[in-house]
Amino acid sequence: MDTNKRPEDMERITTPELAQAFVDEQVEAVRAQVGDRKVLLALSGGVDSSVVAALLIKAIGRQLICVHVNHGLMRKGESEQVVEVFRDQLDANLVYVDAADRFLSLLEGVDEPEAKRKIIGAEFIRVFEEEARKVGDEVSFLAQGTIYPDILESDGVKAHHNVGGLPDDLQFELCEPVKLLYKDEVRVIGDELGLPEGMVQRQPFPGPGLGVRCLGAITRDRLEALREADAILREEFATAGLEGKVWQYFVSVPDFRATGVRDGVRAFEWPAIIRAVNTVDAMTAEVPELDWALLKKITERILAEVPGICRVCYDLTPKPIGTIEWE
Amino acid sequence: MDTNKRPEDMERITTPELAQAFVDEQVEAVRAQVGDRKVLLALSGGVDSSVVAALLIKAIGRQLICVHVNHGLMRKGESEQVVEVFRDQLDANLVYVDAADRFLSLLEGVDEPEAKRKIIGAEFIRVFEEEARKVGDEVSFLAQGTIYPDILESDGVKAHHNVGGLPDDLQFELCEPVKLLYKDEVRVIGDELGLPEGMVQRQPFPGPGLGVRCLGAITRDRLEALREADAILREEFATAGLEGKVWQYFVSVPDFRATGVRDGVRAFEWPAIIRAVNTVDAMTAEVPELDWALLKKITERILAEVPGICRVCYDLTPKPIGTIEWE
């Protein structure tokens, strides 16, 4: 039997009861697979790795070693939430690595989008490898938040930012408890495991994080402006009840300045570009017709609260011709 | 009597009858002032200089020498319209100067907004001066499209792009027949003089033209993309009946590229930024809540028809903190 193929008679997990049954089954399966050995997991804070972490903590507790790499390109409050939920609430065996300086130093002056992605991806492997070596002797398994669309899409459209690429002398047996599930099922499991709503309903977030939204060569001041503007956008969308209704929304800040006037003096600052899209399959995407009052509120808040931003634009570009991300 | 002060009892010109009376009066006054001598006018194609040209042609015919300097930064079709209306329809004594190469060569690599404005302003004077020298011996007057707000605002807020700055050996007596009129009155006069609707209702257009909307260092390909995108915007606003209803609307194209997908291949092209504002006094401005269908149509057309553009954004920034122009 191909363990990477979802059985045709497998019921879609849509209710707490079905979720509970799946969790019970996987807890047993993981315990049988792992025994008293240890499991390593790269915990990004995204939906998939968070659900896998919570599931494994339920199954094997502190035999799971979670490594959270903060590459300095996380959204506002995300790394803090990972620590709070997993270390403080779930008593996880969590290794928190503040690698922001390493990543930002490597990225200095690099403006080509693909070069940026490669640097971030390669450095992520390097940091994770270092942590894996520290515990390598005691660890036998590598857990991953692989989900079923990752398997379906893995014939080459786009390299996913999962932890592959570890060196040959550091290979583990894989543990992928949600690999046959669709995204919506993973969220139902997350709810059942008691993860916070904001974590379970989190929008897809690219592996390179804010690094591909701080357009062109990343600087710390522009990255900080982006993080603050993005946080305001997410807060106002949540207040307006759009969380989970608009598929994806975020801010990008280009390496380009425009004129404005602040307190009567000429300002020469960055524009913040709001990107929001709805999609069924992520292959095509439409721009939602947002309420003008909401757009106005977000614009006012960003202009008033974020140093370095003197313009706010709404991206009207459907996919195609635009991609969802700006780079 | 201060001839630069509008008499308090002067009636606002709002009707064809009042316009006709003003025109008759000014035709007499100009004839009395000029006699059989000649008048020089820099005809940009904007509302003010066009109305002055039509008024002077009515008064003194081919004694008026109109110089139209095409600096290569005109909107699509504007220079052509100046030639068609004034040379072909009104039989004006029109000197058309194609100076696009001169301006664009000087601007090459210049990205600082104020430096760009200074180069364009200074070169404009230089080109106009050359033309003035050619006819200087026979010309006694310089006509200008000064209007009353120019006089009211002339205590230093912003240098207006009128033709000052001619050298001392080339000074003329001034002829400014609409200098006591407000903008709306100038438009009523333009209607009365039979100028085309599109010329009379023309939005304010900065002296440096598209030069300050082709953001950063101007290149010919990006300038051309801007001109085409701007033409589509103006066409769709006109079709939607918004001409004269939205105070000002235009496109800016930054010197910045974003990712897209065109015919299955990665594109790395410029965004077009739509700017539209309503204002009472131009000191503050609001962004109009346009119909989504219109925004969608403009976006689709620009993406389909303009080479080099793969994104369209709508600028949501009020003034302040944003200025109306991007640089």
Q: Are B252 and B230 in contact (CB under 8 A)?
A: no
Per-residue pLDDT of chain A (327 residues; tens, 9 = 90+): 568 889 999 999 999 999 999 999 999 999 999 999 999 999 999 999 999 999 999 999 999 999 999 999 999 999 999 999 999 999 999 999 999 999 999 999 999 999 999 999 999 999 999 999 999 789 999 999 999 988 887 654 444 444 467 888 888 899 999 999 999 999 999 999 999 998 998 888 898 999 999 999 999 999 999 999 999 999 999 999 998 899 999 999 999 999 998 888 899 999 999 999 998 877 899 999 999 999 999 999 999 999 999 999 999 999 999 999 999
- Is the minimum CB–CB distance between A204 and chain B shorter than 8 Å? no
- B187, B153 contact by CB (below 8 A): no
Q: Provide DSSP, A56-124.
A: HHHHHGGGEEEEEEE-S-PPTTHHHHHIIIIIIIS--EEEEEE-HHHHHHHHTT---HHHHHHHHHHHH
Task: Give me the residues paired with residue A118 across strands.
Answer: none
- Report the distance separating Cα A70 and Cα B18, nearest Å: 72
> With an 8 Å Cβ cutoff, are B321 and A267 in contact?
yes
Tens digit of pLDDT for each residue in B11-64?
999 999 999 999 999 999 999 999 999 999 999 999 999 999 999 999 999 999
Query: Any idea what DSSP says for residue B62?
Result: G
Q: Which of A143-152, A217-226, B191-200, B312-321 has the lowest mean pLDDT?
A: A143-152
CA distance B286 to chain A (A): 10
Mean pLDDT confidence for B143-153: 87
Query: Largest Cα–Cα distance of chain B, in whole Å?
Result: 71
pLDDT digits 0-9 by tens, A8-21: 999 999 999 999 99
pLDDT, position A161: 41
pTM value is 0.91
User: CA B243 → CA A254, A313, B200, B240, distances in Å?
Assistant: 32, 23, 11, 8
Count of other CB atoms within 10 angstroms of residue B321: 21
Handedness of CA A28, A34, A35, A40 (dihedral sign): negative
Q: Does B1 touch chain A (CB under 8 A)?
A: no
pLDDT at B160 over 60: no
* B327–chain A nearest CA distance, Å: 5
User: What is the number of other CB atoms lying within 10 angstroms of the CB of residue B38?
Assistant: 18
State the best of A312, A325, A327 to mutate against chain B, taking most chain B CBs within 10 Å.
A312
Sequential DSSP letters for A169-187: GG--EEE-TTTT--HHHHH
CB contact under 8 A, B322 and A256: no
Q: Which among B185, B99, B110, B115 is positioned nearest to B147, based on CA atoms?
A: B185
- Cα(first)–Cα(last) distance of chain A, in Å? 40
Task: Show which of residues 255-274 on chain A sit within 8 Å of chain B, judged by CB atoms.
Answer: 255-256, 258-262, 267, 271, 273-274
- Please enumerate in sequence order all residues whose Cβ is within 8 A of that of A292, keeping only pairs 6 or more positions apart, or say none: B289
The dihedral through the CA atoms of B6, B11, B14, B16 has a sign that is negative
| pLDDT value for A154 | 67
Residue B251 pLDDT more than 90?
yes
Cα–Cα distance, B49 to B55 (Å, whole number):
10
Residue pair A226/A210 in contact by the 8 Å Cβ criterion? yes
Three-class DSSP category at A38: strand
pLDDT surpassing 60 at residue B132: yes
CA angle A248, B260, A116 (to 5 degrees): 80
Phi, psi of A229 (to 5 degrees): -65, -40
Q: How far is CA B111 from CA B206, B207, B213, in A?
A: 18, 17, 12
The beta-strand segments (E) located in B137-242 are: 139-143, 173-175
Q: Cβ B311–A326 below 8 Å, yes or no?
A: yes
Residue B266, Cα to own-chain centre: how many angstroms?
A: 37
pLDDT digits (tens, 9 = 90+) for A45-92: 999 999 999 999 999 999 999 999 999 999 999 999 999 999 999 999
Q: Does A254 touch chain B (CB under 8 A)?
A: yes
pLDDT, residue B1, reads: 52
Q: How many CA atoms lie within 13 A of A15 on its CB side?
A: 4
Instruction: Identify the CA nearest to A252 among candidates A215, A222, A282.
Output: A215
Tell me the residue length of chain A: 327
